[in-house]
């Protein structure tokens, strides 16, 4: 009876707010997601200490974040294997001419673009773990098979299949991150598997160097064939490891069975602060339409394209650019290793600053200035100064930090399972188009200068800078609108987002918040009451955008 009266009270307040604003109100979805059902069976609320929560978080990091890092590391090495092979004369041995080498990179992203709708639907309808592992095993086999390719057509087919199977990894990981961690925690976990991505830029060249030395003049296999065989075999060997570690969701994870299932309840209950839910298995077309009525969708898409176009070009032609500075084949491979270190250092520094100031756009804007400066220097420094050219190349390589920061920012600002998945698929679609275009603007006839490619990259980064600043101010505007809706319901103004605070800051603020809410006639649980109703960020007035 008490719950019934509470519901009636809230509904009355919402009707009053609706009449006061004279605006139509979104209806709540009736399909509760998996976590809501689990909490309902446990009485709707779980009390736990900060230490208990941290213990659960450590187990989540081991069983969820670690396999994500492994998978992302493997995926990047498999995808980059063609650029390592190019240094060992892949073009010559396979008879590639004109733009054929460029298409070996672009076709990966063409396949990913075509497969995005399938991926978006599969992530809602299928267990995430099963879908990820199927694709991981498949792309590993594709990399191994690439070793048998001796002409453009066979290489193109293998690379196309590789792209199709890799298409789901970033959308899957964004969804998994939203299912398991608070929004502040998500930044660090996103950076963790993106750091693993940068580790591929360290281990990939080292592996390629060793394989190149071992197979050079062997007469058994060519150097580029050894690269594809070895990297693909390493990838396939990690599939059982990821299968053993990675769970499907917080509601089914076996490592949360301790303490009579209490760990599972803690893992689920703490996510209420996100106001984004975990995952529902119902695909909701209303959320699809809302995604494409949301201006943020198109702004994110523009940013991802502008980040991906330079990335696709430099990732494919970076080793060829540095080889054009006058270095030998093996030394060119070794000169790629610092790029991974730059990515790791840049990511760790930027995410530390981001979480200290609790704002994303200023950090991202500053980071974007580095590749602009480095690329301009590459077009101006004389070819007689290889040291200066390498310095400019390394400064430009800070671009590798941009995409991870965009991922961690974008996935914090959408709610509702279907809307999150479709938003991510749209962003990834823009990213794949950028990666398709990127290698094509590096013209073979301009080797080793590639001035057209560099000028296009500079333009993309300048547009990205404008979009980042614009998005920061737009999200601030949306937060003011959300606060006005809450105040119209009688809630106190100035509510803060605990999901981006440290655990200690959140605990202290909740005590202050409880006093404010009770003074206004609301219970402390009221703020997150719609967290597991699979509402979108437009529908849930308690959702706060991260600027």
| CA separation for the pair 358, 343 (Å, rounded) | 21
pLDDT confidence tier of residue 17, bands split at 50, 70 and 90? very low
More confident residue, 38 or 182: 182
pTM above 0.75, yes or no: no
pLDDT confidence tier of residue 434, bands split at 50, 70 and 90? very high
Q: Locate tokens 């976990």: which residue?
A: 189
Q: What is the CATH number of domain 50-479?
A: 1.20.1250.20
Q: pLDDT digits over 144-159, tens only? A: 999 999 899 999 999 9
Q: pLDDT digits over 489-521, tens only? A: 888 888 887 777 777 787 788 777 777 777 777
Contact of 507 with 539, CB cutoff 8 Å: no
pLDDT confidence tier of residue 13, bands split at 50, 70 and 90? very low
Q: pLDDT digits over 448-491, tens only? A: 888 899 999 999 999 999 999 999 999 999 999 999 988 888 88
DSSP string, 44-72: S-----HHHHHHHHHHHIIIIIHHHHHHH
Percentage of the residues of the chain whose pLDDT score is greater than 70: 87
Please confirm whether the linkage preceding 448 is cis (ω < 30° from 0). yes
* pLDDT, position 67: 94
| CA separation for the pair 460, 493 (Å, rounded) | 40
- Residue 6, pLDDT > 70, answer no
Cα–Cα separations (whole angstroms), residue 331 to 337, 422, 426: 10, 43, 39
SS3 of residue 427 by DSSP = helix
- Residue 9, pLDDT > 50, answer no
* Burial category of 70 from C-beta neighbours within 10 Å (exposed 0-12, middle 13-18, buried 19 and up): buried
- Residue 43, pLDDT > 80, answer no
Residue 327 φ then ψ, to 5°: -90, 155
Q: pLDDT digits over 324-338, tens only? A: 888 777 788 788 888
First-to-last alpha carbon distance for the chain, in angstroms, is 41
Q: How many CB atoms lie within 10 A of CB 174?
A: 25
| CA separation for the pair 236, 71 (Å, rounded) | 10
* pLDDT, position 248: 86
Q: pLDDT digits over 308-325, tens only? A: 999 888 877 887 788 788
Domain ranges of the chain: 50-479
| Least confident piece of the model among 250-264, 303-317, 421-435, 509-523 | 509-523
Stretch 408-436: mean pLDDT: 83
* Burial category of 327 from C-beta neighbours within 10 Å (exposed 0-12, middle 13-18, buried 19 and up): middle
Length of the chain, please? 547
Contact of 179 with 253, CB cutoff 8 Å: no
* pLDDT, position 191: 81
- Residue 240, pLDDT > 90, answer yes
| CA separation for the pair 363, 256 (Å, rounded) | 36
């Amino acid at each position: 009876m008490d719950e019934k009266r509470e519901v009636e009270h809230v509904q009355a307040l919402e009707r009053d707010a609706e009449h006061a604003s004279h605006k139509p109100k979104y209806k709540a979805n009736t399909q509760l997601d998996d976590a809501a059902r689990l909490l309902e069976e446990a009485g709707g609320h779980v009390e736990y200490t900060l230490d208990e929560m941290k213990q659960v978080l450590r187990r989540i990091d081991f069983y969820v974040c670690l396999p994500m890092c492994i998978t992302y590391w493997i995926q990047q090495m498999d995808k980059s294997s063609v650029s390592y092979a190019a240094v060992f004369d892949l073009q010559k041995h396979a008879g590639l001419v004109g733009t054929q080498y460029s298409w070996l990179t672009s076709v990966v992203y063409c396949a990913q673009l075509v497969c995005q709708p399938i991926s978006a639907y599969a992530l809602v309808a299928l267990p995430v773990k099963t879908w990820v592992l199927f694709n991981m095993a498949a792309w590993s086999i594709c990399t191994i098979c690439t070793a048998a390719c001796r002409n453009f057509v066979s290489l193109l087919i293998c690379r196309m299949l590789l792209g199709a199977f890799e298409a789901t990894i970033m959308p899957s990981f964004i969804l998994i991150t939203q299912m398991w961690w608070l929004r502040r925690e998500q930044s660090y976990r996103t950076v963790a598997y993106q750091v693993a991505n940068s580790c591929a830029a360290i281990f990939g060249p080292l592996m390629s160097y060793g394989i190149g030395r071992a197979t050079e003049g062997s007469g058994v296999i060519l150097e580029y064939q050894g690269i594809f065989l070895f990297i693909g075999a390493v990838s396939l060997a990690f599939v059982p490891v990821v299968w053993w570690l990675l769970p499907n969701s917080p509601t089914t994870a076996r490592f949360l069975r301790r303490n009579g299932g209490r760990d599972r309840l803690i893992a689920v209950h703490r996510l209420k602060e996100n106001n984004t839910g975990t995952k529902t298995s119902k695909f909701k077309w209303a959320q699809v339409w809302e995604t494409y009525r949301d201006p943020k969708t198109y702004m994110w898409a523009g940013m991802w394209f502008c980040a991906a176009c330079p990335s696709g070009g430099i990732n494919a032609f970076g080793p060829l650019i540095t080889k054009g500075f006058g270095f030998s084949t093996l030394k060119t491979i070794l000169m790629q290793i610092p790029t991974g270190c730059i990515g790791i250092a840049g990511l760790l520094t930027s995410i530390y600053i981001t979480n200290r100031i609790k704002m994303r756009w200023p950090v991202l804007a500053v980071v974007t200035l580095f590749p602009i400066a480095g690329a301009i220097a590459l077009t101006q420094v004389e070819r007689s100064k290889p040291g200066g050219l390498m310095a400019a190349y390394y400064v430009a390589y800070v671009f590798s930090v941009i995409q991870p920061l965009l991922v961690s920012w974008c996935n914090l600002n959408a709610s509702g399972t279907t809307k999150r998945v479709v938003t991510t698929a749209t962003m990834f679609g823009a990213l794949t188009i950028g990666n398709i275009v990127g290698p094509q603007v590096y013209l073979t006839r301009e080797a080793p200068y590639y001035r057209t490619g560099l000028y296009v990259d500079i333009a993309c980064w300048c547009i990205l800078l404008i979009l980042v600043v614009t998005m920061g101010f737009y999200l601030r505007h949306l937060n003011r609108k959300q606060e006005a809706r809450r105040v119209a319901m009688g809630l106190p103004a100035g509510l803060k987002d605990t999901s981006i605070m440290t655990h200690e800051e959140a605990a202290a603020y909740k005590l202050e918040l409880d006093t404010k809410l009770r003074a206004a006639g609301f219970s402390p649980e009221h703020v997150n009451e719609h967290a597991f109703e699979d509402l979108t960020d437009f529908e849930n007035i308690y959702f706060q955008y991260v600027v």
